[in-house]
Chains A and B, each alone.
Chain A
Amino acid sequence: MNKAIEVKDLVKTYGSGETAVHALKKVDLNVFEGELLLLLGASGSGKTTLISIIGGILSATSGSCKIRGTEIVGLPQSKLPKVRLDNIGFIFQGFNLFPALTAQENVEITLDLKGIKGRKAKRKSTELLERVGLGDKLKSHPSDLSGGQKQRVAIARALAGEPHIILADEPTAALDSESGKLIMDLLQELAHEQKRSIVVVTHDNRIFDYADRIVEIEDGRIQDAETEKHGDGESLHIPTEMIEQGANA
């Protein structure tokens, strides 16, 4: 399997001197194509910091982070937007939709960033919203949609960029379990059928079943045990019961 994300010896220190916060202390992590990985950890353990660096919106202090083979640690700020645009889709706990735009227009923003406009953008955004089951909500504004529907718009928006990697921070935390499941079904399908790499940060034990692999981070370090689910999804995947496995695959 190809590595979509390759993190090695990644260190992130916020601030310096006495007040320095060592958010990541030499983290190693690989994420493969077609894999849905759950990232668990207590509050403040460094989950958001880690996916922010992977997503190219936060610079690391040291170490290496390769996105589909391209090193992004040390890349100048001006180069990062393109890396994000070409590779990454973000999903947020709070959806982060543009309230003034309709569902369709929200999706079209990504297309616009990619230089796709006009009729082509209309067609593509319609397709994407249909794929997430919102074919009848094209003209709805976010304020008229339920939480689950908003998150599906956000997924369609992320997908519009055709990202190889989707990074989701607590995507189901604000949703009821029914909507949460729908979102996870969708993400799983994207991983398995479209071979995208999906990293989901979560506290939500209702969604553990969806993981191909679960990685736990504790106080800025990846626990050296990971759980891998094999094929039919029979194995256990609660972090405290993790099976020994080469943490850095």
Chain B
Amino acid sequence: MPSLALKNLFYDKVRLAVTLVGIIFSVVLSSVQLGLFVGFQRATSDILFYSNADLWITSENVTHAEDGVPFSEKKLYKVLGSPDVERVEKQIVQFANWKKPNGADTGILLVGGNLDGGMGVPFKIVRGNIEDLNKPDAVMVEELYADKLGVSEIGETVEIGGFRAEVVGFTRGVRSFTTSPPVFTTFKNAQNFFGLPEDQTLYLVVRAKEGAELQALKTDLKNRVSNVDVYTRMEWTNKQRNYWMFGTGAGITVLIAAALGLLVGVVVVAQTIYAATVDHIKEYGTLKAMGATNFYLYKVIITQAFLSGLIGYAIGMSIALVVSYISQQGTTAIILPWQLVLALFGLTMIMCIGASVVSINKVTRIDPAMVFKG
């Protein structure tokens, strides 16, 4: 039987090609879309995910990181009052205006943290030293957006929020979901650039003591400090992701495209497997007359669907992985975590086998007496 499934599959090369193109298209489209989704998701939140903080403290009801509301830095001392807190630092994440060396304006996402605290500071640095950020006016920018920011070398000067700023280094791979590239600096510099009053901060980032229970610490801090929300790093990261992906509808669009990709796959595969079944209907009838059970025929059809799926997935995923690799050299990253690669494999197989259901229905109804007809 496997030989019949296999041989029939490879016998009609044109049909096989059509089936495979359908599956490949579907796998590439849906994995690229889902990879984009993951890429976007990470781009919205890398600065939080890689912030190194255990907890983030925000003003109440802040929906996303770019929308922080200033509050008094005095709250920092209340936080320090908790026995489970190792360290607290002020933090700024906020949109700001950047004037390129040539005078043109563009938006940036200013990220300012205290270097000593090691939280909310630049990561993935490829040029320059993090200590150089201690210089007043010093910033580090993301290489991927160097063109957009109009800078390419250390030492170039620009203006942020009307104040002079000097590029002291570059990161590589810290993406932005919005059109505003991330620019790192110290809290102090950011406070100047942003024009935040001396005694105010947008966020507090907290490092807990070794072994502290974060949920308990969260509750403790909520009780100590009024009018703030407290999140673990992952909670805050996920809140940020959900805001940008679902609050704005950006993610839905990508997911719909992914679903469409899968749907196209199902339709193409169902259609080609069905057409193949109809073409071979006399053979299936003959098999039945020879004494094959329906189950035997299902095995033939499902094996064909399975093989098509396997080959299509292998080719499609290879293409998607190459696309993903190339995309990661640019600002829009298509990221395919292994879980996604695996899930898509399962999905492709389910899709292909599901697509053969109509055909299975067809062979079930074959009247074996048809074998004697013309």
Contact = CB atoms under 8 A, between A and B. Distances in A.
A48 interface: yes
B371 A81 contact: no
Contact of A81 (B12, B282, B293): B293
Interface in B315-374: 367-369, 371-372, 374
Contacts of A101: 3-4, 7
Interface in B283-303: 283, 286-293, 296
B11 A100 contact: yes
Query: Looking at B287, B288, B371, B372, which has the most chain A CB atoms within 10 Å of its CB?
Result: B372
A148 interface: no
Contacts of B290: 84-85, 90, 109-110, 113, 157, 161
Interface in A28-73: 48, 51-52, 55, 57-58
A130 B156 CA distance: 88
Interface in A163-186: 169
Contacts of B368: 57-58
Interface string B3-22: 11001101110000000000
Given A81-B291, A81-B292, A92 B372 contact: yes
Contact of B371 (A92, A100, A110, A157): A92
B284 to A, nearest CB: 10
Nearest to B296: A113
Nearest to B286: A96
A116 to B, nearest CB: 12
B282 A96 contact: yes
30 contacts: A51-B372, A52-B369, A55-B289, A58-B367, A81-B288, A81-B292, A83-B291, A84-B289, A86-B291, A90-B286, A90-B290, A92-B371, A96-B282, A96-B283, A98-B4, A98-B8, A98-B283, A100-B10, A100-B11, A101-B3, A101-B4, A101-B7, A105-B4, A105-B7, A108-B3, A109-B1, A110-B290, A113-B291, A161-B291, A169-B372
A74 interface: no
Contact of A57 (B1, B4, B7, B371): B371
A183 B303 CA distance: 35
Interface residues of A, number: 31
Contact of B369 (A58, A99, A161): A58
Query: Looking at A55, A57, A83, A108, which has the most chain B CB atoms within 10 Å of its CB?
Result: A57
B3 to A, nearest CB: 6
A157 B289 CA distance: 12
Given A90-B371, A94-B374, A113-B296, A100 B8 contact: yes
Interface in A89-115: 90, 92-94, 96, 98-101, 105, 108-110, 112-113
Interface in A121-161: 157, 161
A110 B286 CA distance: 11
Nearest to A201: B372
A120 interface: no
A98 B297 CA distance: 14
B1 A90 contact: no
B216 to A, nearest CB: 63
Contacts of A86: 291
Interface in B255-305: 282-283, 286-293, 296
* Chief secondary structure at chain B's binding surface: helix
A99 B367 CA distance: 21
A185 to B, nearest CB: 23
Query: Looking at A86, A92, A100, A110, which has the most chain B CB atoms within 10 Å of its CB?
Result: A100
A80 B153 CA distance: 82
Contact of B289 (A57, A93, A105): A57
Nearest to A78: B293
Interface in B105-127: none
Contacts of A206: none
A124 to B, nearest CB: 15
Given A48-B372, A99-B11, A57 B3 contact: no
A41 B214 CA distance: 91
Nearest to B291: A85
A82 B295 CA distance: 13
A47 B288 CA distance: 20
Closest 5 CB pairs of A and B: A85-B291, A100-B11, A57-B368, A84-B291, A100-B7
A81 B290 CA distance: 8
Contacts of B282: 96
A84 B4 CA distance: 20
A90 B370 CA distance: 13
Nearest to B293: A81
A105 B3 contact: yes
Given A82-B291, A109-B4, A161-B291, 14 more contacts: A48-B372, A55-B289, A81-B293, A83-B291, A85-B290, A85-B291, A85-B292, A93-B372, A99-B11, A100-B8, A100-B12, A101-B3, A105-B3, A105-B4
A107 B219 CA distance: 76
Contacts of B283: 96, 98
A112 B1 contact: yes
Contacts of A112: 1
A109 to B, nearest CB: 6
Contacts of B372: 48, 51-52, 92-93, 169
A113 B292 contact: yes
Interface in B1-58: 1, 3-4, 7-8, 10-12
Nearest to B282: A96
Contacts of A58: 367-369
